[in-house]
Homo-oligomer: A and B are copies of this chain.
Amino acid sequence: MWRAGSQTWLHHLSKAGKLCVPAINVNDSVTKQKFDNLYCCRESILDSLKKTADIMFGGKQVAVCGYGEVGKGCSAALKAMGSIVYITEIDPICALQACMDGFRLAKLGDVVRQVDMVITCTGNKNIVVREHMDLMKNGCVVCNMGRSNTEIDVNSLRTPELVWQHVRAQVDHIIWPDGKRIVLLAEGRVLNLSSSTVPIYVLSITATTQALALIELFNAPEGRYKQDVYLLPKKLDEYVASLHLQTFDARLTELTDEQAKYTGLSKYGPFKPSYYR
């Protein structure tokens, strides 16, 4: 029951037959995904960029690599602040969503000369490589909101002809022989974990999800869970959400008996099939 990014690793273990206990992949629970990834990043990308690079967002051109939950949060926030955002994607479904949400879908190489900022959110490796950085314009900001260390090929910048200038915490200028600078944030580590705070509300959601998953595994009758990776049961996912609604002075509607019967749902949930997101 680990955090974001670890689910792939759990599945690897499970496939290899090396997982010795049942595991719940809380990262893919709906509540966790939406809050820790989408909604949290929507705010922390702005916060982190202000705190480190102190840039104005209005009118800036930005490439966001990856349109999963993190990419969706980052690009929505930047668009709302007046940036022009290009999305790169490998998955045609996410790509089509980016189009319908009003973003140009491009390859990084095609827009890297013109953008003021590149943000990686893919969970993959070597998304921004030296060839890209050689093409960037002076002052381009490069940072990572996805998987730590791997997305930007920072090692390719540790070559003799480039000068590193440490400007302040989390900010390095990399200077090309012709004087061009790119602004590298957090040396390619995850930007919001390095430079921003996580709202206590999001932390509460994540911690509640983790605690409930542990309790579920502990209390489960013999045989319910094998040495495999499970999703958080829908009903627990809904319970986490309901606990956090009161902060917003939000009033939930209850099914009438007639409506419960009509839809075949219990009045106490779960309200959606387990695959519903």
Most buried by B among A90, A196, A255: A90
Question: Hey, which chain B residues are within 8 Å of A57, CB to CB?
Answer: 43
Copies in the complex: 4
Question: Hey, which chain B residues are within 8 Å of A126, CB to CB?
Answer: 256, 258-259
Known: A104-B84, A105-B245. A251 touches B110 (CB 8 A): yes
A240-258 vs B: 1/0 string, CB under 8 Å? Answer: 0110110111111111101
A80 to B238, CA, bound (A): 26
Question: Hey, which chain B residues are within 8 Å of A43, CB to CB?
Answer: 50, 56-58, 81
A39-82 vs B: 1/0 string, CB under 8 Å? Answer: 10011001100110011111111000000000000000101111
Chain B, Cβ-Cβ closest to A252:
B95
Known: A58-B100, A90-B255. A263 touches B106 (CB 8 A): no
A47 to B52, CA, bound (A): 12
A30 to B106, CA, bound (A): 22
**Shortest beta-carbon distance from A118 to chain B in Å:** 13
Known: A91-B271, A107-B253, A253-B108. A100 touches B82 (CB 8 A): yes
